[in-house]
Amino acid sequence: MRPRRSVLYMPGANERALEKAKTLPADALILDLEDAVAPDAKEAARERVCASVSQYGSREVTIRVNGLDTEWHDADLRAAAQAGPAAVVVPKVNSAGEVHNIERALELGGAPEHTKIWAMLETPVAMLHAEEIAAASDRLTVLVMGTNDLAKELHAEFVPGRAPLLGGLSLALLAARATGKVILDGVYNDVKDVEGFEAECVQGRQFGFDGKTLIHPAQLEPCNRIFAPSAAEIASARKITAAFEEARAAGKGVVTVDGRMIENLHVENARRILDLAEAIGTAE
Ligand SMILES: CC(C)(COP(=O)(O)OP(=O)(O)OC[C@H]1O[C@@H](n2cnc3c(N)ncnc32)[C@H](O)[C@@H]1OP(=O)(O)O)[C@@H](O)C(=O)NCCC(=O)NCCSC(=O)C[C@H](O)C(=O)O
Ligand SMILES: [Mg+2]
């Protein structure tokens, strides 16, 4: 299991941020060629980003290309295919057909097998097509929420608790889980609002997101903490797996732990928690 609690965007034209990220505790990075890069800086950013893919140690490094309907998309995809990041992040994916086109372009561009597709879901059409997008290709491994664009398209307001976005978030989560893909929550724009950010991380985790996309280094620590299993969750998961194994050895399929019924499905969840803790390095 690969942890993707914290996934930090960095503007591809910002040399300082690209350098700084080499020391930051992000599980994954998105080197951005899209929204965070001005039109006249797109080509220089593409060159810089592609040249720096291998410089981030164990962090999972991805490149966000410009959208399918832009003049930069084809050249971005060709360059990214050659650079061979862990994934190409594609904004505003709206259909399975678009995923197939991206897949073909990566193959034609000579992308290595390990370069996957992360599709951004950020339009009303994408929400309604979430399952077909998620299921379109084995190369597509991660769905990424684009909540700024989604709010804009919906004419929705940003409010604590995100009520206007919950329908879209739920559809995307259902699609991810139905197709066995990882799913990342959208960004929180107010980098100074620590309390609001933490509340949104907790909400995202409760929803079932695997992690959250971020825009500022200060968001890393709370995000890593909130999306990691707590010590109490790890202890409980250990107790559940141990009790269930004991029960199985005694020929039983169900057992109680601390007064609660435990069946195979709870054990599967406990194992997922232990695998994640192991991958993060907090299992002990
Ligand atoms: C939001 C920012 C513009 C704030 O920048 P700034 O005011 O420079 O921040 P600080 O002065 O507090 O920075 C402190 C140091 O941290 C480095 N830094 C800042 N941000 C990053 C980053 N993202 N990655 C790595 N390092 C970063 C600064 O260089 C400072 O370093 P030092 O000088 O050594 O102290 C800025 O944070 C920023 O640009 N963030 C990313 C914005 C971005 O990428 N936006 C696009 C992606 S989000 C999106 O598109 C959402 C989606 O599509 C949707 O629809 O929702
Ligand atoms: Mg967007």
CA of 111 from ligand 2 middle (Å) equals 24
Q: Is the distance from CB of 12 to CB of 46 less than 8 angstroms? A: yes
Q: How many domains does the chain have?
A: 2
Statement to judge: residues 166 and 236 lie in one domain: no
Residues 205-260 pLDDT 10s: 999 999 999 999 999 999 999 999 999 999 999 999 999 999 889 888 889 999 99
Statement to judge: residues 19 and 49 lie in one domain: yes
Q: Ligand 1: residues within 6 Å at CB?
A: 8-11, 16-17, 20-21, 32, 35-36, 122, 146-149, 186-187, 191, 215-217
Ligand 1 pocket test, pick from 215, 221, 223 with the greatest ligand atom count within 8 Å of Cβ, gives 215
pLDDT at 30 over 80: yes
CA of 121 from ligand 2 middle (Å) equals 9
CA-to-CA separations, 15 to 48, 49, 163, 253, in angstroms, rounded: 8, 9, 37, 57
- Taking the CA of residue 150 as reference, the ligand 1 atom at the shortest distance is 55
Statement to judge: residues 219 and 250 lie in one domain: no
Domain-located, residue 208: yes
Residue 64 in marked binding region: yes
Statement to judge: residues 25 and 147 lie in one domain: yes
pLDDT at 82 over 80: yes
The pLDDT value given to residue 253: 82
Domain-located, residue 29: yes
Ligand 1 pocket test, pick from 18, 20, 24 with the greatest ligand atom count within 8 Å of Cβ, gives 20
For residue 205, give its domain range.
Answer: 6-226
CATH code for the domain of 122 = 3.20.20.60
Statement to judge: residues 85 and 119 lie in one domain: yes
Statement to judge: residues 261 and 212 lie in one domain: no
Residue 149 in marked binding region: yes
CA of 53 from ligand 2 middle (Å) equals 22
CA of 34 from ligand 2 middle (Å) equals 8
The pLDDT value given to residue 281: 87
The residue out of 226, 245, 261 marking a domain boundary is: 226
Residues 247-265 pLDDT 10s: 889 888 889 999 999 988 9
The pLDDT value given to residue 284: 59
pLDDT band of 282, cuts 50, 70, 90: confident
Statement to judge: residues 21 and 148 lie in one domain: yes
Statement to judge: residues 250 and 150 lie in one domain: no
Percent of the chain scoring above 90 in pLDDT: 94
Beta-carbon contacts of residue 220 (< 8 Å; ≥ 6 apart): 6, 8, 24, 25, 26, 214
- State the pTM of this model: 0.96
User: 255 or 173, which is more confident?
Assistant: 173
Residue 122 in marked binding region: yes
The residue out of 226, 242, 267 marking a domain boundary is: 226
Domain-located, residue 272: yes
pLDDT, averaged across the chain: 96
The residue out of 226, 251, 269 marking a domain boundary is: 226
Placement of tokens 């996309």 in the chain: 213
The pLDDT value given to residue 1: 87
Domain-located, residue 256: yes
Domain-located, residue 1: no
Statement to judge: residues 209 and 252 lie in one domain: no
Statement to judge: residues 195 and 265 lie in one domain: no
Q: Could you list the beta-strand ranges (E) of the chain.
A: 6-11, 28-32, 60-64, 87-90, 116-121, 140-145, 182-185, 211-214, 255-257, 260-262
Statement to judge: residues 178 and 202 lie in one domain: yes
pLDDT at 169 over 70: yes
Beta-carbon contacts of residue 134 (< 8 Å; ≥ 6 apart): 119, 140, 143, 175, 176, 178, 179, 181
Average pLDDT over residues 182-196: 98
Statement to judge: residues 50 and 189 lie in one domain: yes
CA of 91 from ligand 2 middle (Å) equals 6
- Ligand 1, atom 8, lies closest to the CA of 17
- Ligand 1, atom 18, lies closest to the CA of 17
- What's the token pair of residue 146? 């684009």
The pLDDT value given to residue 283: 60
Average pLDDT over residues 80-96: 98
